[in-house]
Amino acid sequence: MLNEETLQMVESFKRQHPGTDESLALDCRIAELCLSQMAGGSDEKFKAQVEMMQKTYTNRLNDIRLVYLSQTLEDDILPGMRWEAERKKLEEEWKAKGSEGNRKMPDSRVDPARIKRQFDFLAEGVGNVVVPTNSPITLDFLVSGAIGRLCGYYGGNDDSIENLRATRNRLIEDLKKDPRTAKYATNVEQIKEGDERSEEMELHPNPPDAVEKPAISFAAAKPVAGAIVSLTLRERAGLARAGWPTVCGVPMPQGRVKDAAKLCLYAVQTNAAPVSGVPVPCQFTIQSRWPDGSPKWLLLEWQADVSASNTASYILAENATPPVPLVKTAVTFQQFGSAAGCVMDSGVLKVGIATNAPGLIHSVSLAGKQIVAPEDPVQATLVTEDDKAYRCGVPKKVTVETTGPGRATVLTEGEFVSAENGTNIFSGKVGYEMRTTVYAGKPYAKVDFTLINHGNYGYRNENRKRQWLYSKSLSVEMPVVATNMFGNTGTNWCAKLPAGWIVSYNADLTVQQWIKYPRRDRRNLEDCNSEDDAKMDDLVEVCMDQRSTPYYLVHRGYTVAPGGITNGAISEGWCESMIGQNRLAGAAVRRFWQNAPKGLSVQAGKVTIDLWPAGGFWPRTQKACDAKTYQFEGGREKTTEMLLVFGKDGPGTSSLSKGFESPLIAEASADWYHESGAIWPFAPGNLKTKDKELQEALDRYERMQLAKVHDEDGDPAGEPSPGWGDDWGRVSIPSLTARCPETMCGWMNFGDLVWSHGYCSLHYDWPYLMLAHHLRLGDPVMLDLADDMCRHRYDIDQYHVSAAPEYLGLFARYEKGEHGNLDRQPQKSRNWELNTAPSHTWNRGLLLWWALTGDRRALSAARENGEAYYRFFYGQNKLGQKDKLVYGEFRTPAWAIENWLALYEYTGEQKYLDWANEIFTKTLLAMEKDNGTKGHILKEGKQGAQFTGYTIEPVCRLHHLTGRQDVADYLKRVLDWQREKGTTGGVTKDGKYHPVKFLEDMSGDYEDGDAIGAGVYYDYLFADGYAYLYKIFGRKQDLEYARRLFRDGVFYFTFSAGVEPAARSPLGYHHLGDPFGSGEKLSAYNGRYPLIYLAVEKEFASADGKDR
């Protein structure tokens, strides 16, 4: 084990020589281990050898790239002994080829003569070497190379090398545990039977620019005082991250943080005792506060180090002033060229956004050298159906949203204007938002570009003309200047495709991602698009076999490098403009292929991102295919996340794109989310009880949630009734997306789900149930789905028009629709594009996403929902001017309560709680009192279980936040009446168990097996209510009944009549054998509910499964 002083010496050396190749850090570590063995425990000798090693490395290895081409180490070949001879031989060979500068070594796998000619590094003057990406480096070889070098440096001979062989295996094991080897992707090679080689670990090097220098050293770690909460960061992309932007929204218990100015984040070593940590520069934002003024939700942002597919640990403490970062972001107002505006400074990159000139980004400079010039800014171009070009005009508004030591974000808002005469579209309703973000010390900027159409949708009862945008293309163009950066204008451009590199030299390159739609849709087996989109084949060159996948790529103006495209249809979504071997600028698009069609192109002096490539169309109709237009209906928005990268230094665009796809989001434990009280109801996963049947139900409920996202956790769709059919087998949302991308993907569809009547606009708050169960169970796929769902929810699934009538504007889209494909309407008997409705709007998932990530668009959309309910009830229905408001569809005021309380809980704004109190008093409570204060809200109890069930959680939540006794009493009356008058089942007859079902139509006389008038699936909603009654009144029968409902809902939700008690409904993202039927709605029910019940079990139930 290396001592502290040694580690400090190595860290000091790295700081003194920042230009030293990254591989030097690993070599120092190897050398330290070797020297420890050679020194024999003598500290003085050890120090002297380390100092000599440092001098030697400085003189001989600075600016030299280590190249390893060995497949295996053969014990009789020690590269350190043959270093000089190999170096001279290679130098002579390369000079004989007449090539100077960059040279590519032949791959040892294709040149057997190279296998025996192993070498460890090249001397100065030989030039940079491009390492073949498929050339493995054995850890054994690295160690032996280091041993050989050290022996050469210190007069070693064959005997000394032989003596060290005995320790080599132990050194390898030590190195496997060392985090500095994380820059190599480890892979255990499987050796075929009969192969003479032993099984060994291979280390495949990432490209030299793929890993930044680690920001954290534990050399100065100290015990952490004043700890509040532990945080865990999980790397899931298989990419080593160093200094990577990281975010963490974390809740605080009320009153826990006394002085926010003393908050400090520590990177910790979890195996140290006591826990020790190193202060990390961190940007803190208080997102909301408790009623006592203390922070409720904190947003932490820092730059993290974490090895590939691994975790990093942190502690948030309140004990000192946080450390000041070496580099800070800043936003200033400056003049650039003839324009003026905000300049965002990351410390290395400056991004200028003018307030008085057309365009998006007007200046980009890196280390003082101009890359984007004010006279030729980054610009978006929209070409409409009549071939007119519109561009981003002078911004209407530029806002500094965030500025801090680690991140700065500027919001730009404007409209598209004609490039010909300056006119706009729909009186300026077609525009854009752009959020531009820079990070301290980074040479890249994140750009979220949102296309906006705030024109009228023109719903059937809106009485307003449609204002739908039809365009042929939409692109973002970034002109780049090479002369200031590299002093020449030579150009070579590169873009990466799935099976290799496409490289064009001094010629334009375009890569486009498309989806080829099938003639028949698996969702309903009907003709659904235009003649199999045959005309698309005439527009572009298809470069893969389309029989295997609906995705394909097209390219223009390319030269395919050896080993280039052979097949594969998905692009990684990035490109680079390069000068020689140096990157000038690059671009990456997040969720590139999922939002097809998309395109990227590199031309002389320009990088272009095609958000809607020319030649595509939407919707999938013959009319759109013939016109080659994209339809974008009124009231919709669409955001594209882009990363713009500049300069030759830092990670390659490929690595950045991979990390960009999987942002780093740190999290607390499930117990912390429960204990904080900021998320209610909330219970950690895997609750335990000694009641075997209840334990089975609890375990099965957790598996029910996991089966939504993992096939292996589900059951075949046809079990246990063969009559349902088993065409799908096991199916989850990710596997359904993979199997039916023509339905689940594309720029309009990706992130939404299909119900039997069309796309559901994520009704019943899918974003919330994904996030809640992710936090409960820690499943990362749920987080990924929540990410995509939230973006669809706040862009596509909301009617973003405040000027629309109060019953339409700013609400979520309805649950039955085809995203504007009206050609599907005549095929059914009803209008598919039904109106937005206050009876079908939820915002809690958006708010939790904002709290966890700081995504401002989610918060904005949630606030729109709150405003929509205010306009509807206080504007159209004059709630503030009435003593009571009788509202027949009484679930609607309950949803208003839910939306307003969510806003109150996550923002702390009192007005939302006031509105929720008032609407409950004047609607639900007043109506129940008018009908005798007997527990039924409608006259003579003519109310169905569905509407009543929807009111339960909002009313429980109102009591939880206010403690109002009249709310508790109301809830007790309603649920007591419902149990007595509105249920059936819950009994065993003739050996068959009849699950509890709640009546939907109270005037009907239904047989026990009737699934229309009574439903087991309402058990989830009512389990919450009876559990909460137990919480506030302590009646044992309420908890017992809640448990019965929970068990019946989990065990028997697909059964409508008597069933064998041991039977169980199959789990998975399907219902009655069909993932496109009612599976989406019922999966939403059993995920969104019964979370109150679980919280009550956690809070009150004892370990033996009985009451408190």
Q: From residue 1072, how far is each of 175, 738, 1068, 1080, 1085 by CA, in Å? A: 53, 21, 11, 12, 16
How does pLDDT run across 538-576, given as a tens digit for each residue?
Answer: 333 322 223 334 455 555 444 433 333 333 457 788 888
pLDDT at 34 over 50: no
Q: How far apart are CA 376 and CA 607, in angstroms?
A: 13
For residue 973, what is the DSSP state?
Answer: H
Is 401 in contact with 409 (CB distance < 8 Å)?
yes
pLDDT at 518: 54
3-state secondary structure of 846: helix
Is 457 in contact with 633 (CB distance < 8 Å)?
yes
Q: How far apart are CA 146 and CA 934, in angstroms?
A: 84
Closest listed residue to residue 884, CA positions, set 911, 918, 839: 918
Q: How confident is the model at residue 118 (pLDDT cuts 50, 70, 90)?
A: very low
> Which of residues 474 and 543 earns the better pLDDT score?
474
How does pLDDT run across 497-535, given as a tens digit for each residue?
Answer: 433 444 555 556 677 777 765 544 555 434 344 343 433
Is 771 in contact with 788 (CB distance < 8 Å)?
no
How does pLDDT run across 167-196, given as a tens digit for each residue?
Answer: 444 445 555 555 544 433 332 222 223 322
Q: How far apart are CA 738 and CA 1075, in angstroms?
A: 13
pLDDT at 1003: 54
pLDDT at 1029: 98
* Best-predicted range by mean pLDDT (216-225, 256-265, 576-585): 256-265
pLDDT at 943: 85
All residues at 6 or more sequence positions from 769 whose CB lies less than 8 Å from its CB, including other chains = 845, 1084, 1087, 1088
Least confident piece of the model among 16-20, 509-513, 749-753: 16-20
Q: How confident is the model at residue 1009 (pLDDT cuts 50, 70, 90)?
A: very low
Burial 373-400 (b: 16+ CB within 10 A, else e): bbebbbbbbbbbeeebebbbbebeebee
> What is the percent of the chain with per-residue pLDDT over 70, rounded to a whole number?
68
Q: How confident is the model at residue 1079 (pLDDT cuts 50, 70, 90)?
A: confident
Closest listed residue to residue 614, CA positions, set 805, 942, 384, 811: 384
Is 443 in contact with 647 (CB distance < 8 Å)?
yes
pLDDT at 115 over 60: no
Instruction: Give the CATH fold of the 330-665 domain.
Output: Beta-galactosidase; Chain A, domain 5 (2.70.98)
pLDDT at 290 over 60: yes
Residue reference for tokens 């493995």: 136
Is 33 in contact with 10 (CB distance < 8 Å)?
no
Strands 295-306 and 349-354 come out as unpaired
Q: How far apart are CA 333 and CA 344, in angstroms?
A: 9
Task: Say how many residues make up the chain.
Answer: 1108
Closest listed residue to residue 925, CA positions, set 881, 887, 880, 898: 887
Closest listed residue to residue 679, CA positions, set 775, 589, 614, 795: 775
Is 532 in contact with 520 (CB distance < 8 Å)?
no
- Kindly report the backbone phi and psi dihedral angles of residue 301, in degrees, each rounded to the nearest multiple of 5, phi listed first: -135, 125
| Domains of the chain by residue range | 4-205, 218-318, 330-665
Is 431 in contact with 423 (CB distance < 8 Å)?
no
Q: What is the 3-state secondary structure (H, E, C) of 710-761?
A: CHHHCCCCCCCCHHHCCCCCCCCHHHHHHHCHHHHCCCCCCCCCEECCEECC
Backbone Cα Rg of the chain: 32
Q: Which helix (H) or strand (E) holds 57?
A: helix 43-61
- Kindly report the backbone phi and psi dihedral angles of residue 20, in degrees, each rounded to the nearest multiple of 5, phi listed first: -65, 145
- Kindly report the backbone phi and psi dihedral angles of residue 170, in degrees, each rounded to the nearest multiple of 5, phi listed first: -70, -35
Q: How far apart are CA 472 and CA 610, in angstroms?
A: 11
Q: How far apart are CA 452 and CA 795, in angstroms?
A: 9
pLDDT at 724: 52
pLDDT at 45 over 60: no
How does pLDDT run across 1029-1072, given as a tens digit for each residue?
Answer: 999 999 999 999 999 999 999 999 988 788 999 999 999 998 87
Q: Which helix (H) or strand (E) holds 642?
A: strand 636-646
Q: How far apart are CA 841 and CA 254, in angstroms?
A: 29
Residue 78, token pair as written in the block: 């020690």
Mean pLDDT computed over 757-781: 95
Mean pLDDT computed over 620-648: 93
Cis bond before residue 274 (omega within 30° of 0):
yes
pLDDT at 467: 96
All residues at 6 or more sequence positions from 538 whose CB lies less than 8 Å from its CB, including other chains = none
3-state secondary structure of 616: coil
Burial class (CB in 10 A: 0-12, 13-18, 19+), 173: exposed
DSSP H helical ranges for 154-275:
158-177
Strands 241-251 and 184-188 come out as unpaired
Mean pLDDT computed over 1009-1024: 76
Q: How far apart are CA 1021 and CA 1045, in angstroms?
A: 9
Q: Which helix (H) or strand (E) holds 330?
A: strand 330-336
Strands 227-234 and 241-251 come out as unpaired
Q: How far is CA 787 from the centre of its chain?
A: 5
Q: How far apart are CA 1058 and CA 1046, in angstroms?
A: 17
Beta bridge partners of 603: 606
Instruction: Return the CATH architecture of domain 218-318.
Output: Sandwich (2.60)
How does pLDDT run across 904-961, given as a tens digit for each residue?
Answer: 999 999 999 999 999 999 999 999 999 999 999 998 888 889 999 999 999 999 999 9
Is 689 in contact with 1104 (CB distance < 8 Å)?
yes
All residues at 6 or more sequence positions from 62 whose CB lies less than 8 Å from its CB, including other chains = 17, 19, 20, 21
Beta bridge partners of 268: 277, 313
Is 454 in contact with 416 (CB distance < 8 Å)?
no
Residue 294, token pair as written in the block: 């203390």
Is 249 in contact with 297 (CB distance < 8 Å)?
yes
Q: How far apart are CA 657 and CA 642, in angstroms?
A: 9
> Which of residues 1010 and 252 earns the better pLDDT score?
252
Is 629 in contact with 385 (CB distance < 8 Å)?
yes
Beta bridge partners of 771: none
For residue 353, what is the DSSP state?
Answer: E
Angle of CA points 139, 140, 141, to nearest 5°: 90
